[in-house]
A and B are shown apart, each in its own frame.
Chain A
Amino acid sequence: MDPRIDDPGTLPRDGREHRLHPLSWLFVLVAQLKQFIVPLVVLLFAGRGDRNDLWGLLAMGALVVASLAQYLTYRYQLGRDAITIRSGWLHRSRREIPFARIHNVSLQQSLLHRLAGVAEVRLESAGGIKPEAQMRVLRMDQALALEALVRRRGQAAGSEVAADAAPAAPLLTLSTPELVRLGLISNRGMLVVAAAFGVLAQAGDDVFRVVVERWGKLAFGWLTRTIGAHAHDSPLAIGLATATLLVAALVAVRLLSVALAILQYHGFALREDDGRLLVERGLLARSRSSARRRRIQAWSLREGVLHRWFDRRSLRVDTASGQRGREAGVHALKDIAPIATPARCDALLAHFLPGMGWDTLDWQPLHRGAWWRIALPGLVVVLLATGLLALRFGAWGALGLLAVPLQLWRARRIADACGWACNGRLVAWRSGWLSKAWNLAEIGKLQAVRLSQSPLDRRLGMASLLLDTAGATPFGPPLHLRHLPREAAEALSARLVTQLAGRRLQW
């Protein structure tokens, strides 16, 4: 994927309608097969008669016809400021998408796409679940040209900058050692293993016991020979087998994570071009997504324990497009720095938020009693558990109270680590003690503000402030400033709303 091939000449711009790539139907078919794989497999393998094979073939045939029909009816036309897409045969639709409204352009290439030299293009606007248009598939050079066209025409003010200038050097690339670190830190393999465990648990009753016993026999054959014929049943052998199996599994999961990280992030490059951020990545399946800088709604910087060991952080952004989509995580621009040194992350933030004063923020502490409030839920659990232990084991159960100072100390550390800052352009919230996070947004990107107090908060004189932005993940609000002194929270809320009311929304 050479970004230099963005000569618009490769796009048919004669004002007439055009079809997609002639091989489109094949990729539509592949996508449909992925959806219908389960019923198809059932049809093909469930029965043993010829009739069932026939039904399977018929279903396949129907899918092929549907794919061909989709290819034959899908037309696009490039206008001056909009792309018009006509599709459907019985149910026809015609959709006009102004370039200025397109928030995100993403190009996806699986291995099959790469062999055929084509790419799948998605055009996304703000909100919504499905992309505005999903062009499956365009020739690679045409896809890149379309992306460049959207980039150039999307400039609302129509400022014709020197768009054909050579692409800037990447702002961030990841070398292989970085990818290895990313894999070790992110532990992506765990997801795969969890899925595999689920399948295994479904497969049979005693899979785990059988695995442990087999491993025991295999790895401790020498033990069997030295101790006796039935050593594989002895608790020692089984214990050793379980322990080594666990260690082997942990190592395997980490190795798998590294492999996945390399697969997903090989050749990662973050570029900025004409005010657009562009991220390319992938070893076998390449993906390329871009979004305009000002369309980024919020930023978050993360540093877990493993990150800290390797002296790294990761930087993510929220864009407003496809926020609720099932595939949003896959296609939207999200990880602009999957892994980078803290200094590099700060430099990137300073680069993308120039003059916002990210590095000179004046961090304010939480309410003085916040640590007590943070400790409380944990304390209740500890006391309940101690009570239960005391009922069961008598006086020894009181040892559970040892967790109380631990919990208080932990809450104290968390309260010390949290803080908020607002300098009139940016509002930021940092949280976490072992695993830290910094969330920030430009004030102009805030949409609504909620101040809340629980009865306990009121007694202690504190309040929490939720600053909501578009495109935040529905799981866990990023800018939830908790346990602030009440006056500070009220003042911040009033200040932000006053500032917002006078400024129109800049998507």
Chain B
Amino acid sequence: MTDPASIDQPGATPPPTADWHAPPARAVRLHAGFLAAIFALCAIGAVAGPLAAADGLGGGLRIGLGGLALVLGGGFGAWLGRRLRHQRWKLDAEGLWLRQGRLWWRETRVPASRVQHVDLKHGPLERRFRLATLVVHTAAVHLSGITVRGLDEADAEALRDALARQLDDAGDAL
């Protein structure tokens, strides 16, 4: 959560090879900013009612408490969003690798022959920053939609095409 150098501490996740792709810095910023805004709004919404109803609070105190909720909510959202910088993905002959998180680390692998279909999503904000989100669908129950966030647009299209090509090569799965 502090400096990026601590990501690759010994004993933690193996260092990403040249093939591993990290999300671009603007994707991390966008994700963190977006979540910060959402959480700040939620925090303000949650405290606005009680603050307005509470008796015996000065105007300054109310604004201060509201500001505190805003900062705490925004900070939490930004921290959640900044976790995107730990995401790494890679595509090799066997399929897609996706690593997420640092403290709660997880590595999801989808064999190329098990991909059902691929969705490429561009939200309005993502389009503005030339970013995209790729969802890889499988027939599994718990890992049915594997989401790769914050992809560069060109990377995302290349990844989609590569997965689709592998899908074609694997033949008719049904």
Contacts and interface: CB of A to CB of B under 8 A. Distances in A.
A320 B138 CA distance: 13
A450 B112 contact: no
A452 interface: yes
A320 B139 contact: yes
B143 A466 contact: yes
A261 interface: no
A472 interface: yes
Interface stretch (A185-193, A341-349, A497-505): A497-505
A468 interface: yes
A471 B141 contact: yes
Given A126-B139, A127-B139, A497-B94, A447 B114 contact: yes
Interface residues of A, number: 35
Contact of A470 (B11, B141, B146): B141
Given A503-B113, A504-B113, A451 B143 contact: no
Interface in A39-69: none
A126 B139 CA distance: 9
Contacts of A474: 141-142
A458 interface: yes
A240 interface: no
Instruction: Indicate the member of A446, A500, A507 with the most B CB atoms within 10 Å.
Output: A500
B170 interface: yes
A493 interface: yes
Contact of A497 (B111, B139, B170): B111
A452 B107 contact: yes
Contacts of A454: 103-104
Given A448-B146, A493-B109, A472 B173 contact: no
A448 B109 CA distance: 6
A468 B95 contact: no
Contacts of B173: 504-505, 507
Interface string A474-507: 1001000000000000000100011011111101
A502 B143 contact: no
Contact of A468 (B106, B112, B140): B140
Interface in B82-108: 93-95, 103-108
B174 interface: yes
Instruction: Indicate the member of B110, B111, B113 with the most A CB atoms within 10 Å.
Output: B111
Contacts of A314: none
A498 B107 contact: no
B63 interface: no
Interface string A317-339: 00010010000000000000000
B106 A447 contact: no
Interface in A428-451: 446-451
Interface in B128-174: 138-143, 146, 170-171, 173-174
A469 interface: yes
B108 A449 contact: yes
B46 interface: no
Contact of A469 (B11, B104, B112, B140): B140
B12 interface: yes
Contacts of A320: 139
A455 interface: yes
Given A452-B106, A454-B104, A507-B174, A501 B111 contact: yes
Given A448-B110, A450-B143, A477-B142, 11 more contacts: A323-B141, A447-B138, A447-B143, A452-B105, A452-B107, A455-B103, A458-B11, A468-B142, A471-B141, A500-B111, A501-B111
Interface of B: 11-12, 93-95, 103-114, 138-143, 146, 170-171, 173-174
12 contacts: A447-B139, A448-B138, A448-B143, A450-B109, A452-B106, A468-B142, A471-B141, A472-B140, A474-B141, A477-B142, A497-B95, A501-B112
What are the 8 A-B residue pairs with the smallest beta carbon separation, nearest first? A447-B140, A468-B140, A500-B111, A501-B94, A452-B106, A448-B143, A470-B139, A501-B111
